[in-house]
């Protein structure tokens, strides 16, 4: 195929806007403790988490937009997640609200980033909160497709929109 023919074909392909997925990877360090758990995780401990966020949509087709051909600018995608998730969770402690109130108060009074949650802070529950929050943060033309949250290099939880439709 000649180079010119290739570009003509590419132009024709781009004219048919396909639904695409775009993924951005984030890392953060966070401690957590599992309330009333009878294993190693009953103690405060931390992980280096890896979060993969995948969105779905059709690339912007507005000739006047500097984002034409993009689902979302990667830097905008990064800013949304960094400002609303990573800055809150990175180097924080996540702990259940039913923990001893004296301990909760001591932690809140002595440390800046103590995230008190209404659920057991497992990777499975955390990914559900992430899905709930991220869906609200995305621009209207994008949908959250999936999340993958690694607690360790070998262990992760996954969330898919198609399996969680209301």
**Active centre residues (catalytic):** 41, 91, 151
Q: What are phi and psi of 159, to 5 degrees?
A: -135, 130
Closest by CA position to 129, among listed 76, 99, 162, 88: 88
- Alpha-carbon distance of 88 to 109, in angstroms, equals 17
Residue 21 · residue 58 · CB < 8 Å: no
Residue 151 · residue 123 · CB < 8 Å: yes
Q: How many CB atoms lie within 10 A of CB 9?
A: 11
């Amino acid at each position: 195929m000649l180079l010119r023919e290739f570009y003509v074909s590419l132009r024709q392909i781009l004219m048919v806007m396909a639904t695409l997925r775009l993924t951005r990877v984030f890392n953060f360090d966070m401690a957590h403790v599992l309330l009333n758990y009878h294993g190693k995780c009953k103690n405060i401990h931390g992980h280096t988490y890896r979060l993969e966020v995948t969105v779905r949509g059709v690339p912007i087709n507005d000739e006047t937009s500097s984002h034409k051909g993009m689902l979302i600018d990667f830097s905008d995608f990064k800013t949304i997640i960094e400002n609303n998730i990573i800055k809150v969770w990175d180097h924080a402690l996540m702990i259940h609200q039913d923990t001893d109130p004296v301990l909760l108060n001591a932690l809140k009074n002595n440390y800046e980033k103590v995230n008190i949650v209404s659920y057991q802070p497992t990777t499975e529950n955390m990914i559900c909160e992430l899905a709930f929050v991220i869906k609200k943060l995305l621009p209207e033309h994008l949908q959250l497709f999936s999340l993958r949250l690694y607690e360790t290099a070998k262990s992760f939880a996954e969330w898919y929109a198609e399996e969680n439709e209301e």
